[in-house]
Amino acid sequence: MLTQLPQDPHSQIQMFLANRPATTARAYAKDLAGWLDFCGGGDPDHWTAVQMLAWQESLAGLSSSTINRKVSALKSFMKWRKQIQESPAEVMKTTKNPTTPKASKWLGEGDVALILDRIPPGTGRSICELIYATGLRVSEVANLTWDNVFDHGDTVVITVLGKGAKVRSLTLRSEQWIAIVGASKGVGYIFQTRTGKPWDQGRIHRLLSTAAGRATGAHALRHAHAQSALAHGCPLPTLQQSLGHSSLKTTGIYLQSRPGDSSALYL
């Protein structure tokens, strides 16, 4: 027997978003609200594929990453409805431990050097180089402005507004900064388009995927930074602060993904 969900789509969407991460919930709520405005709401059981395709076509003009996110939100909601109707236990929330990525999926230093070398010189390559050099999220690098950069002679300090509106600072050697960004200082976004807007994050992912020859997101460079930093002796608490992790347990996944390492090798 199928579980009966409330007919009101707003109530269903609230249930769907209840156990989602805050950032995902906010994005999906906005995307699904746009869908409801388009289709006029009503009982989700009566929504049709024709309506959904028409909605997707109406999104033309937006970036591909934005369209994909909106479509993904609706598809995830519809998949969730089916699961709930078939198994009421799906409404219960489970607690997950931090996931340890498989070591084979990490980019080694040689892999990173090869990928970066395949990206044509220019803004896109500089963004990727800065992500790898600092471990910043692609969103944090894309939104960096010159007001976030402070020259201290031998070092350059970058202030970043990260997840949860938390501000953190990262220090680079001046020669690192100059090699990636250049010696001159500008105004507005550090990496901007001709119209002065920040670079589209989806564009960065596409650059990396093309250079790597397979689907590769900018987050892979952040993971590679963490692995390289630990391999060169970076203390775990320092890495935690640089990456902006709220818990040392989260940063610890990078230690777990180094099966060839052992405390015996340090004696």
**Residues designated catalytic:** 137, 163, 219, 222, 245, 254
What is the helix (H) or strand (E) element at residue 202, kind and residue range? helix 201-212
The pair of structure tokens assigned to 75 is: 């598809």
Dist CA 143 CA 226 (whole Å): 21
The neighbour count for residue 150, using CB atoms within 10 Å, is: 12
Cα separation, 14 vs 39, in Å, equals: 18
Hey, CA dihedral for 19, 96, 241, 112, is it positive or negative? negative
CA distance 190 to 177: 12
Q: How far apart are CA 244 and CA 222, in angstroms?
A: 11
Radius of gyration of the chain (CA): 22
Distance between CA atoms of 137 and 131, rounded to whole angstroms? Answer: 7
The DSSP secondary structure of 105-161, one letter per residue, reads GSPPHHHHHHHHHHSPTTHHHHHHHHHHHH---HHHHHT-BGGGEEE-SSEEEEEEE
CB of 223 closer than 8 Å to CB of 155: no
Q: Give the separation between CA 32 and CA 72, rounded to whole angstroms.
A: 10
